[in-house]
């Protein structure tokens, strides 16, 4: 069952977790798990210092600088396939060198310095599907 724009946004809710796919200059595509918050019609992804990584110069930032087009996919898996759903957001990304209040929905982001930048997605298309 195809979902309309309103139902898709309802499933995104105020935020959650999903997968961000970006264009990689040599390898074609890249994908990485992300958490996100929703603020008005925009989707906010943190660049954080909480989840251990080697650098905050993340490949996703390199990719988005090269090509700002991206997809956020949010899906619910269930062994009962009648309960599956997903929402896909095609968007253009901008990077802001600051956190965003909406990201404090995640408790770990309430710590000082936890979020060093925000990837702001401006949705071009929001579509979805549910099994029943």
Which C-beta is closer to a second copy: that of 62 or that of 131? 131
Token pair for 113:
């310095």
By the rule CB under 8 A, 62 interacts with a second copy:
no
User: How much is the CA Rg of the chain, to the nearest whole Å?
Assistant: 15
Q: Is 21 in the site for a second copy (CB under 8 A)?
A: yes
The answer to whether residue 105 forms part of the interface with a second copy (CB under 8 A) is: no
User: According to CB under 8 A, which one of 38, 49, 58, 75 is a site residue for a second copy?
Assistant: 75
What are the b/e assignments for 96-118, b being 16+ CB within 10 Å?
eeebbebbebbeebeeeebbebb
Candidates 3-11, 14-22, 36-44, 97-105; binding stretch for a second copy (CB under 8 A): 14-22
Taking alpha carbons only, the member of 116, 118, 112 closest to residue 38 is 118
The site that binds a second copy (CB under 8 A) totals a number of residues, namely: 34
- H or E element in which residue 11 lies: helix 5-12
Q: By the criterion CB under 8 A, which residues form the site for a second copy?
A: 1-2, 17, 19, 21-23, 27-33, 50-54, 67, 69-71, 73, 75, 77, 81, 84, 86, 88, 90, 108, 129, 131
């Amino acid at each position: 069952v195809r979902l309309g724009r309103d139902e898709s946004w309802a499933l995104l809710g105020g935020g959650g977790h999903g997968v961000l796919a970006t264009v990689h200059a040599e390898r074609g595509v890249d994908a990485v798990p992300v958490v996100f918050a929703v603020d008005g019609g925009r989707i906010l992804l943190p660049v954080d210092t909480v989840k251990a990584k080697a650098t905050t110069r993340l490949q996703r930032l390199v990719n988005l600088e090269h090509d700002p087009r991206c997809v956020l996919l949010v899906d619910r898996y269930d062994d009962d396939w009648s309960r599956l759903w997903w929402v896909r957001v095609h968007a253009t990304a901008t990077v802001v060198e600051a956190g965003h209040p909406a990201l404090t929905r995640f408790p770990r982001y309430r710590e000082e310095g936890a979020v060093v930048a925000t990837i702001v997605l401006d949705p071009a298309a929001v579509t979805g599907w549910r099994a029943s």
